Amino acid sequence: MEESLVLLDFWPSTFGMRVRIALAEKGLKYELKEESLKDKSPLLLEMNPLHKMVPVLIHNGKPICESLLILEYVDEVWTHKSPLLPSDPYQRSQTRFWVDYADKKIYSSGKRILMERGEEQEKAKKEFKECLKTLQRELGDKLYFAGESFGFMDVALVPYFSWFYTYESFGNFSVEAECPRLVAWAKRCMHRETVSKSLSDPHEVYGFALQLLGGLE
């Protein structure tokens, strides 16, 4: 049977970008359907009725929701190349721990850098920088988070790189000055075509953020 693979996506979404990278790593062909979050398609509402969020991967008509669960699914179903999660259960648990940490901290502090001003924004910047420094320590001198090969944590984390320029511009700081080894890692990941072709342009993301926040005022 011919496999059918459809990705419901939204171009500036870090969560969507990580699914795009995983599908590219596995060399899978899929149909990308760009959603409008202001006017969600009937297909999105049918496939993710609870959260009504992208990304959703639809495999042979069946939906998989939540980006990290999609990554795990893709890794389990297509084992022929580019394993993403480590095979050792302890290492797998550690990878999940760090991805969870990064997601909770970067997303929430990043959002507050964009939305808040004054003291609240300063607090968010401090939290954001501390999180990146912690991740940089976890990376250590390794090429990728799991060591020599590009893996799950890299796929999950590198899409935030597309948003760094936006956070820096709103918060008036430089991620590279704070965390040079983390930025070097992100650039190393960008040398992979699977990553560079999946990430959205940082300047376009910035334009999107300006428009979004302008619309909220």
Nearer to ligand GS8, 1 or 216 (CB): 216
- Do residues 30 and 23 touch, judged by C-beta distance below 8 A? yes
Binding to ligand GS8 (CB under 6 A) within 123-142 occurs at none
Strands (DSSP E) contained in the chain are 5-9, 31-34, 56-59, 62-65
200: contact with ligand GS8 by CB under 6 A? no
Which lies closer to ligand GS8 via its Cβ, residue 184 or residue 213? 213
Nearer to ligand GS8, 66 or 178 (CB): 66
- Interacting positions 2-41 with ligand GS8 (CB under 6 A): 10, 13, 15, 37
- How many Cβ atoms from other residues are within 10 Å of residue 31's Cβ? 10
Distance CA 213, CA 114 (A): 8
- Contact indicator for 199, 17 with CB cutoff of 8 Å: yes
Q: Compare residues 96 and 181 and give the one whose CB is closer to ligand GS8.
A: 96
Give the x/- contact pattern for ligand GS8 in 51-70, rule: CB under 6 A.
-xxxx----------xxx--
Closest CA to 194 of 157, 135, 150: 150
Name residue 62's beta-bridge partners.
59
Q: Does 162 bind ligand GS8 (CB under 6 A)?
A: no
Positions touching ligand GS8 (CB under 6 A) are: 10, 13, 15, 37, 52-55, 66-68
